[in-house]
Amino acid sequence: FVVDKANYRHFMAKEIHEQPEVVGHTLARYLDMASERIALPMKLPFDFKDVQHLSITACGTANYAGYVAKYWFEQFARLPVEIDIASEFRYREAPLRSGDLAIFISQSGETADTLAALRYAKEQGLHTLSVVNVPTSTIARESEVVMPTLAGPEIGVASTKAFTCQLTALAALAIAAGRARGTLTDADEAKLVHGLIELPRLMAAALTHEPQIERLARDISKAQDVLYLGRGTSYPLALEGALKLKEISYIHAEGYAAGELKHGPIALIDEKMPVVVIAPYDRVFEKTVSNMQEVAARGGRIILMTDAKGAEEATVDSMVTIMMPDMPAAFTPMVYAIPVQLLAYHTAVVMGTDVDQPRNLAKSVTVE
Ligand code: G6P
């Protein structure tokens, strides 16, 4: 069937705006809203209690969704996770234990390296579970368990709504793992599930900052390089922010763990380099503030994505704040993804690039 842009200028804009709704659909698939429990619609052919090690493999944006999920599986389920880029996982001869679980994440379900990694994991006797947006895809067909994301067709080459839906499905699975392994109590689960249920509302609130982000994008469009910093689950989101910006605006960008600033990227900072800091007020916030002070001391311009408490605590010069809603720490990546995506989108619009079909990129990479 035909997907149109509705009243949006680009598919990417439409897809960014659809996120509260499609994340809501994905949540409805994996949890029971009334009892505030995870309710997976599929039967798992393994018990999370028997899984000693989890490997998560994907490419591009899907890989960053996996990277965020690593924090959740480790925190909620106390399950060690290794995150891999599909083209590395296949060839690096990782010691794998038959009976462990390998998760594959793919919007299209056709990415050649991810598919090859899935086949490799099966050969090694691992259980395989895939988080895919196209349920008829090859990766979905060949996986033991499939968790569809209900993002709907994604047309823009740069992934947006598939990413937040992948995060949503993975969050539900990580909570289910925590329950099965006895590392989350019923009360913990209810609290986390409640946090998930709030997401569509919070994401809609994040979208209201678009006019401010559009103005900031004019500044970003003049930059040659942009640095994205974050800690914890905001670190993979910083990687995703940098990827999004370079994919569609062709401005060079790098994502870094904020704590690594001193180990290299600080050498690049001057008044010409915008630094986007993704920092909800959480237990590592103070550490990120000191990184921001280091940036400011070198004349760097900071765009801080934070909440009210964070804005109050961050006392740094030359800083613009994009104010996100207050929310529990666990699921900030789904909400902070929105300003990250909007900033890349509007920068690309200012640059006049082909936002939905950026040069040299393909929506689905079916060759190795
Ligand atoms: C391509 C796309 C990216 C996507 C990646 C993985 O590079 O341009 O947006 O994240 O492939 O695609 P998949 O369909 O496996 O999620």
Tell me if 112 CB under 6 Å of ligand 1. Answer: no
Is the Cβ–Cβ distance between 288 and 295 less than 8 Å?
no
Q: Provide the pLDDT confidence category of residue 71 given band limits of 50, 70 and 90.
A: very high
Residues 107-155: tens digit of each pLDDT: 999 999 999 999 999 999 999 999 999 999 999 999 999 999 999 999 9
Calculate how far, in angstroms, residue 106's C-alpha sits from the geometric centre of ligand 1. 7
For residue 129, list its beta bridge partners: 103, 145
Give mean pLDDT, residues 291-297: 92
Cβ–Cβ < 8 Å for 309, 325: no
Q: Under 8 Å CB-to-CB from 273, ≥6 apart: which residues?
A: 223, 224, 225, 226, 227, 300, 301
Under 8 Å CB-to-CB from 114, ≥6 apart: which residues? 57, 58, 59, 62, 86, 104, 105, 106, 139
In short, whether 180's Cβ falls inside 6 Å of ligand 1 is no
Give the integer Cα–Cα distance in Å for 236 and 362: 22
pLDDT tens per residue, range 326-351: 999 999 999 999 999 999 999 999 99
* Rounded Cα–Cα distance for residues 254 and 265 (Å): 9
Q: What is the pTM of this model?
A: 0.97
- Given a contact cutoff of 8 angstroms between Cβ atoms, the answer to whether 227 and 273 are in contact is yes
Q: What whole-number distance in Å separates Cα of residue 62 and Cα of residue 193?
A: 23
User: Which of 108, 161, 357, when mutated, tests ligand 1's pocket best, judged by the most ligand atoms within 8 Å of its CB?
Assistant: 108
321 lines ligand 1 (CB under 6 A): no
**Would residue 272 show up in a list of annotated catalytic residues for this protein?**
no
pLDDT at 250 over 90: yes
Pocket lining: 106 vs ligand 1, CB cutoff 6 Å: yes
- pLDDT at res. 83: 97
Mean pLDDT of 73-81: 98
Annotated active-site residue in 5, 122, 191, 363: 363
Answer yes or no: is the C-beta of 159 below 6 A from any ligand 1 atom: yes
Give the CA-trace dihedral at 120, 122, 126, 128, to 10 degrees. Answer: 110
Cβ 337 vs Cβ 163: under 8 Å: yes
Phi and psi, residue 189, nearest 5°: -60, -45
Give backbone dihedrals phi and psi of 147, rounded to 5 degrees, phi first.
-115, 100
Q: Which of 59, 130, 155 to mutate to test the pocket of ligand 1 (most atoms within 8 A of CB)?
A: 59
Does any ligand 1 atom lie closer than 6 A to the CB of residue 357? no
Q: Which atom of ligand 1 is nearest to the CA of 111?
A: 15
Nearest ligand 1 atom to the CA of 361 is: 8
Average pLDDT, the chain: 95
| pLDDT for 1 | 63
Secondary structure (H, E, C), the chain: CCCCCCCCCCHHHHHHHCHHHHHHHHHHHHEECCCCEECCCCCCCCCHHHCCCEEEEECHHHHHHHHHHHHHHHHHHCCCEEEEEHHHHCCCCCCCCCCCEEEEEECCCCCHHHHHHHHHHHHCCCEEEEEECCCCCHHHHHCCEEEECCCCCCCCCCCCHHHHHHHHHHHHHHHHHHHHCCCCCHHHHHHHHHHHHCHHHHHHHHHCCHHHHHHHHHHHCCCCEEEEEECCCHHHHHHHHHHHHHHHHCCEEEEEEHHHHHHCHHHHCCCCCEEEEECCCCCCHHHHHHHHHHHHHCCCEEEEEECHHHHHHCCCCCEEEEECCCCCHHHHHHHHHHHHHHHHHHHHHHHCCCCCCCCCCCCCCCCC
Is the ipTM higher than 0.95? The answer is: yes
Cα separation, 16 vs 349, whole angstroms? 14
Q: 365 CB less than 6 Å from ligand 1?
A: yes
Residue nearest to atom 4 of ligand 1 (CA): 60
Ligand 1 neighbourhood includes 61 CB (under 6 angstroms)? yes
Q: How far is the CA of 319 from the centre of ligand 1 (A)?
A: 33
* pLDDT in the model for residue 225: 95
Backbone angles phi, psi at 109, to 5 degrees: 75, 15
> What length is written for the chain?
368
